[in-house]
Amino acid sequence: GENVEQHPSTLSVQEGDSAVIKCTYSDSASNYFPWYKQELGKGPQLIIDIRSNVGEKKDQRIAVTLNKTAKHFSLHITETQPEDSAVYFCAASTPSGTYKYIFGTGTRLKVLA
Amino acid sequence: EAQVTQNPRYLITVTGKKLTVTCSQNMNHEYMSWYRQDPGLGLRQIYYSMNVEVTDKGDVPEGYKVSRKEKRNFPLILESPSPNQTSLYFCASSLSGRVYEQYFGPGTRLTVT
């Protein structure tokens, strides 16, 4: 079945450094790729998303890149701050047929002050 | 305030005792979904609903039931809970199933002994 692999599972960076989280999906029909941030004790919250007709999208310190040929997409956070510490999930959605969302297993990001 | 609410937030129950976790959204969203979150496994979709009276299985539907009689409500029913259903459950909604941001509830932590 459809699968989304996410790496790394944990990531520690110094404040001010960049962080990169990578995901690979299996269903070539997927065309929507959101990233969610989950803070302790809360539900996930969308931080950025990308659709398959776009290769890159930026929003201030956050960017997402998509390589459809390789079925890879990545989250880039620059100038990390302590408040970026959280669990990040990637997901892939196939908005036709099944309308399922498949999430990655999550990355725990720790930004060290 | 636009939100997804879940009740209860915490529940400890015994094997075989039927329970219902309620989910309600006030955003007039068509698409609603239930997920369970387990360590190392990320978020896995249990059931989703494209609209009233339209529901479909996600990746892990065994042991769960849902209903969508009204647009705003999407209860999750465990007819005969078992210890392997101990998990953190999230309800989510989005404008439609077609590539729109999902809004997550605060989560329900369920323990089945």
If you average pLDDT over every residue of chain A, what do you get? 92
Quote the tokens at residue B26: 């006030």
Query: What share of chain A in percent tops pLDDT 70?
Result: 96
Chain A residues 65-94 with a CB less than 8 Å from chain B: 89, 91, 93
CB contact under 8 A, B102 and A46: yes
pLDDT of residue A27: 87
Judge whether residue A93 has pLDDT over 90: no
Judge whether residue B5 has pLDDT over 90: yes
d(CA A70, CA A73): 9
pLDDT of residue B110: 98
DSSP string computed for B36-87:
EEETTTEEEEEEEEEETTEEEE-S--TT-EE--SSSSB--EEESS--GGG-E
* Pairs of residues, one from chain A and one from chain B, whose beta carbons lie less than 8 Å apart: 64
Cβ-based contacts of B33 with chain A (< 8 Å): 101
Residue B22, number of CB atoms within 10 A of its CB: 15
Is A105 an interface residue toward B (CB < 8 Å)?
Answer: yes
Judge whether residue A96 has pLDDT over 80: no
Give residue-wise pLDDT tens across range A1-37: 678 999 999 999 999 999 999 999 998 888 889 999 9
CA angle B60, B61, B62 (to 5 degrees): 100
CB contact under 8 A, A43 and B97: no
pLDDT of residue A53: 81
Give residue-wise pLDDT tens across range B17-53: 999 999 999 999 999 999 999 998 999 999 999 999 9
Is B89 an interface residue toward A (CB < 8 Å)?
Answer: no
Distance between A104 CA and the closest CA of chain B, angstroms: 6
Closest chain B residue to the Cα of A6, Cα to Cα: B42
Q: Which residues are within 8 A (CB) of B58 and not within 5 positions of it... i.e. 6 or more apart? A: A100, B33, B34, B35, B44, B45, B46, B47, B48
